[in-house]
Chains A and B, each alone.
Chain A
Amino acid sequence: MISGRTIRLLPERAVAALLCAALAWPPCAAAADDGQWSLRELMSELGKTRRTEARFVERKYLRVLERPLVSSGRLIYIAPGRLEKRTLAPKPETLIVSADTLVIESTNRTRRTLRLQDYPVLWGFVESFRGTLDGDLDALERFYAVGLGGEPADWELVLAPRLEQMRAVISQIRIRGSRGSVRVIEVTEAQGDRSVMQVFEDDS
């Protein structure tokens, strides 16, 4: 069923693009926004999810380390705007983003509450996750130049930070998914460190 829809969609787009290119017709402008249009479509698809729970495995490839740091746990998303990242291994730690605050709870240390406004880089970073899950294009575009590739069943968002102070830390964030679900988040830091988080939704 899924592949059926994909097949039906593709030729239409290809035909339209060919027609525009060949005839240099005014509606070509519409075709140029075709990426934008499908970005909106993706966002509205993502925005449909009200609540989701998933398992994650995150690998951080750092220059100072010989081998990647691996952590795993659960992700809970509740629309709109609340995201919990509960790391279970190797050390339990909970991170909750809600509205303007970020709460970090770890077993050894006490609770720390940060206001995202005070940490623009962190805020932008958080918004890359949360904005995507919310399907909130405005939130994403506030911090990133957003590019979209792939197809609905296997799309890839490429986020390039706009703020200079953020570019000093993060060079790119790639988010891959299928339809309304996020599958992989890959963050490349300015100095070459990289982290890859795989997300496994409970029902898949």
Chain B
Amino acid sequence: MRLRARIAIVAWVALLAASGWIVARAQYSTDLAAFLPRSPSAAQQLLVDQLRDGVVSRLILIGIEGCDEAACAQLSRALRAKLDGDPLFSYANNGAADRLRADGELLIRHRYQLSPAVTPARFTVTGLRAALEGQLDLLASPLGMLAGRMLPRDPTGEFAAILYRLQAQNAPDLRDGVWFSRDGSRALLVAQTRAPGFDLDAQERALARIRGAFAKAQAQAGAGGARLLLSGPAVFGVQSRASIRGDALRITTVAAVCIALLLLAVYRSPRVLLLTLLPVASGALAGVAAVGASFGAVHGVTLGFGATLIGEAVDYAIYLFAGTGPEAPPDRALARIWPTLRLGVLTSVTGFAALLFSGFPGLAQLGLFSASGLIVAVLVTRWVLPALAPASYSLKVADRIGPPLLAAIAQARPLRLPLLAAVALCAGWLVWRGGAAWNDELAALSPVPQAEQRLDEQMRRDLGAPDVSELVIVRAATEQQTLQTAEAVGGALDRLVEAGGLAGFDSPARYLPSEAAQRARLAAIPDVRTLRRNLAAAATGLPFRSGVFAPFLREIEEARHAAPLTRRDLRGTGLEAKLAGLLVERRAEWMGMLPLSGVADPDALARALRGFDPAHVALLDLKRETDALYRGYRTRVLSFSLLGAAAIAALLLVSLRSLRAAWDVLAPLAAALIATCALLAAAGVALNIFHLVAMLLVVGVGSNYTLFFHRSARQDERPARTMVSLLLCNLSTVIGFGLIGLARTPVLAAIGSTVALGAALSLVFGAILTARVPPVARY
């Protein structure tokens, strides 16, 4: 016996050491994509990629407020100047015109390669005549003053045509030459990081760089009252990582202290208290190690769950110490409760194991963490605690609270029917509400507080996009093929825009036409003699001074022999930044994105794209795809949870060998879950998948209660002790999870409130439905 204890302790210490080693070396991630399915459809894969490192994920929205217009504008300019050359950012923009002017030279030089209007017909006598007449109209109009200067170089107006197409459709308001919010209270900038959105360490550095640059600009300008606002996916990612970390750490600490104080007050023995915490600590460490060893990286949400393990694993030691006494040394007390405890742990582990096979890396981590943590905790309770526990410890307080508790439980039996009726009503109400109880938006999972989501929405609206919600994705093996496909799709979309089915779209081919398109355009230019003849014929009768178009003839002849414009030529310009967001190389294929705006006729859009090979051209509705993804996700988690519930029922049926006994154990749990859902729904909480996960925890904790209640009705020698231990377990669970329910991170808050409520209801319902004690208690 003593040898066995010694072996157990050595094994335990070895396990802790190994776990500690793994935990210290493990990688930690906060990539929310871990909570997306592992093997999604092609469209979903695109979506996940977009969320992880698409253009949108790299965008940081910057606002400056709390200063007057001139001061804010000056800060905006100073901040942009500091960020523009910074290697962390691919570009920073505040709407100031100087950037466009710098790009303007490039556009002018390459206008015949870039302008889609360059076709052979453009340079015939008819084509040139039409262009010249158009120029005369333009000269007569008030805009002529601006356009007229390019006339000798560009009588066909290619530069203007390019500019017109590149112009942002919903540009923000300009005040003092820079972007401002509609109400003029806030100067706006946009910065795009070079690092992908999921690289939170890099994003954190980028944010720190912006804050530093702003502080410097503010000090230089002496604008003390000005405030910097940052928003965007990167900001959210970094913030929620910090707040989950902070929440998990703070709440775990507070919960641990509260539970320790409660237990100390009850135990009146620091040694027993420390022993009670041993299984929890060992389980948490082993759980993280198990996840680290099998997944490589531990997710932040999984770590956050470390706190939640306390809830159930603390109970094991409480069951033990409530049963020990002079007549029952730890070994014997444990032997008494072991069959019930073992079944309780198996029940919980069965529930969590369902998550292991759910196909979502994040949830699988949670499942593995909880299951392995619980197994280690119960093994420590079984083999290590008895060896370390004081020989004749007795929970004195149990003798005082026990009898009244039993008496109360004995009185509770008449409440059975009213309770069942109330639960049936709750169930009916939930069924009647149906899907309305669920929140089907992925955003609901976001750990970002709502006020900040609203700020983000408003800044995005003020900036007029880049709220990419629908886009066409083109894919091919090479950059050139991708650009050519984008051009073909662009042609179809152009026709749709003309027909009014679409307000507009963007395309990588606008910034970098395919070489084939560029060559075709240059080939459309006739030789200089033909062109001169055509131009002279076209100008006959028009008032243009002779020789005025000499610069045009010279420049177009040069352009005709120019090499194609490449990605290299765009380096350092605003066009490069735009292109980088719309054309990417990934997994040995190229992908182009054509963001759509104002889709008025979805059917016509679908028809326009029907002619293209779906393997190369796909329409992606980000919002719809995301929510569909999430709905599928929720359904899948729900079905795996139901599978877990069925497995638990089967396990109990087999172990207890009685339908009646299984009913005794399961009915209070089911009733508690139904009532919890109804209460949450009545409080206006829309359920999401984290509530589902929390319900698995309720089943885990609650099944222990009902198993002990069930036992108390049959072979319990000391029912009063059992009741006190259950009450103590329940109090510690409600304290622990109640505190988690106060977390600012929605994920943790959802789990905390659900488990606290569910556990309390499980205990009460178990006492009413399952416990059967005679009015005069024995102990």
Contacts and interface: CB of A to CB of B under 8 A. Distances in A.
Interface in A57-109: 60, 62-67, 69, 71, 87, 90-91, 93, 95, 104, 106
Interface string B161-186: 00000000001011101000000000
B173 A117 contact: yes
A170 interface: yes
A68 to B, nearest CB: 8
B545 A69 contact: no
A95 B142 contact: yes
A183 to B, nearest CB: 20
A106 B144 CA distance: 14
Given A64-B152, A64-B545, A69-B136, A118 B142 contact: no
Contacts of B97: 165
A81 B175 CA distance: 20
Interface string A122-162: 10011000000000000000000000000000000000000
Interface residues of B, number: 24
B357 to A, nearest CB: 57
A67 to B, nearest CB: 5
A38 interface: no
A88 to B, nearest CB: 12
Nearest to B548: A64
Given A62-B139, A64-B151, A91-B137, A169 B145 contact: yes
B611 interface: no
A182 interface: no
A53 interface: no
A189 B545 contact: no
Given A93-B141, A117-B173, A125-B142, 18 more contacts: A64-B548, A65-B139, A65-B543, A65-B544, A65-B545, A66-B544, A69-B140, A69-B543, A90-B140, A106-B137, A106-B141, A115-B173, A117-B174, A121-B145, A122-B146, A165-B97, A169-B146, A193-B145
Contacts of A191: 149
B141 A104 contact: yes
Interface string A182-199: 000001010101000000
B150 to A, nearest CB: 11
A102 to B, nearest CB: 8
A71 B136 CA distance: 12
B543 A67 contact: yes
User: Which 9 residue pairs across A and B have the least CB separation, nearest first?
Assistant: A65-B543, A64-B548, A67-B543, A117-B174, A66-B545, A66-B543, A69-B140, A71-B140, A64-B151
B296 interface: no
Contact of A118 (B140, B145, B171): B171
Interface in B544-590: 544-545, 548
B359 interface: no
B148 interface: yes
13 contacts: A60-B144, A64-B148, A64-B151, A65-B544, A66-B543, A66-B544, A71-B140, A93-B137, A106-B137, A106-B141, A115-B173, A117-B173, A118-B171
B143 interface: yes
Contact of B174 (A63, A118, A125, A187): A118
B699 to A, nearest CB: 60
Contact of B143 (A65, A91, A122, A170): A122
Interface of B: 97, 136-137, 139-146, 148-149, 151-152, 171, 173-175, 177, 543-545, 548
Nearest to A121: B146
Contact of B140 (A60, A64, A125, A187): A60
Contacts of B141: 93, 95, 104, 106
Contacts of B174: 117-118
B152 to A, nearest CB: 6
A66 B543 CA distance: 5
Contacts of A87: 140
Nearest to A169: B145
A72 to B, nearest CB: 11
Contacts of B145: 121, 125, 169-170, 187, 189, 193
B137 A60 contact: no
Contacts of B545: 63-66
Contacts of B137: 91, 93, 106
A106 B140 CA distance: 12
B493 to A, nearest CB: 19
Contacts of B148: 62, 64, 193
B163 to A, nearest CB: 12
Contacts of B543: 65-67, 69
Nearest to A67: B543
A194 to B, nearest CB: 11
Nearest to A163: B177
Contacts of A93: 137, 140-141
A199 to B, nearest CB: 16
A60 B543 CA distance: 12
Given A117-B173, A191-B149, A122 B142 contact: yes
A107 to B, nearest CB: 10
B142 A69 contact: no
Contacts of A64: 139, 148, 151-152, 544-545, 548
A63 B144 CA distance: 13
A144 to B, nearest CB: 16
Contacts of B175: 117
Nearest to A69: B140
B719 to A, nearest CB: 80
Contacts of B143: 104, 122
A69 B146 CA distance: 16
B46 to A, nearest CB: 35
Contacts of B139: 60, 62, 64-65, 69
Contacts of A63: 545
A166 to B, nearest CB: 11
Nearest to B174: A117
